[in-house]
């Protein structure tokens, strides 16, 4: 398991691994928004939590099809499936590696990008908390989508269509935590729901991903 | 007995290709699967490896004894030869990769990124993976594709050493491996009868 995790992290860092791609995409989205909606700071401050969450979500989506497709193309997935590692463990490790290379950098970079959107000062902490709680769910749900579409040519688009609706609850509650944090309101309920969704997906989805992957490998 | 297949029927893409396949492998034995293209050699190997269930019949093997080598070698182009082998060694819980490097003359290439290898060298790396797994039964699908005569001899001696150490091998191949002791199994006799699509749902699976 640890071998698989360290291999995936090493592959992400090496040439063509796509590390930083999501981060650069996130930066571009955030920079483009003021061009689109105008530079009025009050408006930007109001939409900043939502834009930051949406940008993080899309940046995460960008790299989902790499989670399993690369291993499927070069045959490693067949070999991993016949190795002593349980399939549930393989997909969990893949999701973790995706989060470490995509989700975690987004969480850490979000405050910097918050400045670009004039996010109110109390919102920075809660933005980081909401992303830290929510992005693991994005990776786990994305791995499930990747398992569903592995082996399909041009599966990336289908993957987006399958996964985006499943991201809705995380987006709603994540952006709500960030918004209420920025406006200094009580945020216990959306925070608990966000954490609940993440825990639920981490607990259940690896089994679903492993099951569909086994069917897809036949 | 390390592997026993009895009366197995296998299907590719929902269409039965082989039926009534029976074979037994004992320690120290190699069995070569023969048959024309499309007869179902790969499908049979994938079924034995556990990637898909047989339609009927049984596949019995000692637990944790099989290792499968497919057409694709599962090599990561940006990792070096050594890193690729070390990864599989860790996955299978073994440590020493030097015998595998030696057996396929990969020592001088150990620090080279696998993406910079030739097709034959990649294949040798893929076969060296079998040695680091420490598994007893090798399931090999066209192992000699893109190997030159010298590398085929290397492969044959690796298989022979594996058999001598009590291992077994099930090999699908078209060419002569120089393994005189290997038994042959011609799958042409097991070709499945063409099936009329009687199951409406099945046509969509």
List residues of chain B with CB under 8 Å from any CB of chain A: 46, 49-52, 64, 66-79, 83, 87-88, 90-93, 129
Among A2, A16, A79, select the one facing B78 at the smallest CB separation.
Answer: A16
Average pLDDT of the residues in B45-61: 89
Q: Is it the case that residue B202 has pLDDT exceeding 80?
A: no
Return d(Cα B106, Cα B100) in angstroms, integer: 8
Question: How many pairs of residues across A and B have Cβ atoms under 8 Å apart?
Answer: 71
Chain A residues in contact with B143 by the CB 8 A cut-off are none
Query: In chain A, where are the structural domains located?
Result: 2-216
Q: Which pLDDT score is estimated for B185?
A: 84
pLDDT bin (cut points 50, 70, 90) of residue B97 is confident
Average pLDDT of the residues in B99-125: 89
Average pLDDT of the residues in B147-167: 89
Q: Is it the case that residue B175 has pLDDT exceeding 70?
A: yes
Q: Is it the case that residue B196 has pLDDT exceeding 80?
A: no
pTM of the model: 0.89
Rounded to whole angstroms, what are the CA distances from B85 to A3, A93, B67, B169? 11, 19, 14, 20
A212 touches chain B (CB under 8 A): no
Chain A residues in contact with B16 by the CB 8 A cut-off are none
CA B36 to chain centre: 17
Rounded to whole angstroms, what are the CA distances from B63 to A89, B27, B175? 19, 15, 31
A14 touches chain B (CB under 8 A): yes
User: B-contacting residues of A 82-101, CB under 8 Å?
Assistant: 82-85
Q: Is B168 helix (H, G, I), strand (E, B) or coil?
A: strand
Chain B residues in contact with A4 by the CB 8 A cut-off are 87, 91
Tell me: ipTM over 0.95.
no
DSSP string over A57-75: HHHHHHTTTHHHHHHHHTT
In tens, the pLDDT along A65-104 reads 888 888 898 889 989 988 888 999 999 999 999 999 999 9
In tens, the pLDDT along B27-40 reads 888 889 888 888 88
Query: Which backbone phi and psi does B60 adopt, to 5 degrees?
Result: -120, 130
Q: Which pLDDT score is estimated for B103?
A: 87
Residue in chain B lying closest to A87 (CA):
B51
Percent of the residues in chain B that have a pLDDT greater than 90, as a whole number = 3
């Amino acid at each position: 398991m640890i071998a698989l995790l360290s291999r995936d992290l090493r592959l992400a860092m090496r040439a063509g691994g796509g590390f930083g791609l999501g981060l650069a995409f996130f930066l571009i989205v955030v920079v483009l928004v003021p061009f689109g909606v105008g530079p009025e700071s009050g408006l930007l401050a109001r939409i900043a939590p939502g834009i930051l969450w949406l940008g993080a979500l899309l940046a995460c989506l960008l790299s989902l099809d790499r989670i399993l497709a690369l291993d499927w193309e070069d045959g490693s997935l067949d070999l991993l499936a016949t190795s002593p590692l349980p399939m549930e463990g393989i997909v969990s490790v893949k999701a973790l590696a995706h989060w470490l290379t995509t989700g975690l950098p987004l969480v850490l970079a979000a405050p910097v990008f918050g400045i670009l959107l004039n996010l109110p000062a109390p919102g920075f902490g809660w933005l980081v908390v909401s992303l830290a709680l929510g992005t693991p769910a994005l990776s786990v749900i994305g791995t499930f989508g990747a398992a569903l579409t592995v082996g399909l040519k041009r599966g990336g688009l289908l993957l987006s269509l399958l996964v985006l609706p499943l991201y809705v609850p995380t987006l709603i509650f994540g952006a709500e935590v960030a918004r209420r944090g920025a406006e200094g309101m009580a945020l216990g309920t959306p925070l608990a729901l966000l954490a609940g969704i993440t825990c639920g997906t981490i607990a259940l989805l690896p089994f679903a991903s492993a099951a569909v992957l086994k069917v897809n490998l036949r | 007995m390390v592997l026993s297949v009895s009366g197995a029927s296998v299907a590719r893409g929902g269409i039965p290709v082989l039926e009534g396949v029976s074979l037994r492998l004992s320690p120290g034995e190699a069995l070569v699967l023969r048959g024309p293209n499309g007869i179902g050699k790969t499908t049979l190997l994938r079924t034995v490896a556990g990637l898909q269930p047989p339609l009927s019949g049984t596949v019995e093997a000692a637990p944790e004894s099989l290792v499968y080598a497919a057409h694709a070698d599962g090599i990561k182009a940006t990792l070096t030869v050594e890193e690729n082998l070390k990864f599989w060694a860790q996955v299978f819980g073994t440590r020493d990769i030097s015998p595998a490097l030696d057996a396929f003359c990969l020592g001088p290439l150990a620090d080279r990124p696998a993406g910079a290898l030739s097709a034959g060298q990649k294949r040798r790396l893929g076969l060296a993976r079998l040695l680091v797994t420490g598994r007893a039964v090798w399931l090999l699908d066209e192992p000699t594709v893109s190997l030159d005569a010298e590398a085929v001899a290397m492969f044959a001696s690796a298989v022979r050493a594996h058999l001598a150490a009590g291992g077994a091998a099930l090999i699908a191949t078209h060419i002569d491996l120089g393994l005189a002791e290997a038994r042959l199994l011609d799958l042409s006799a097991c070709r499945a009868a063409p099936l009329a699509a009687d199951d409406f749902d099945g046509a969509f699976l």
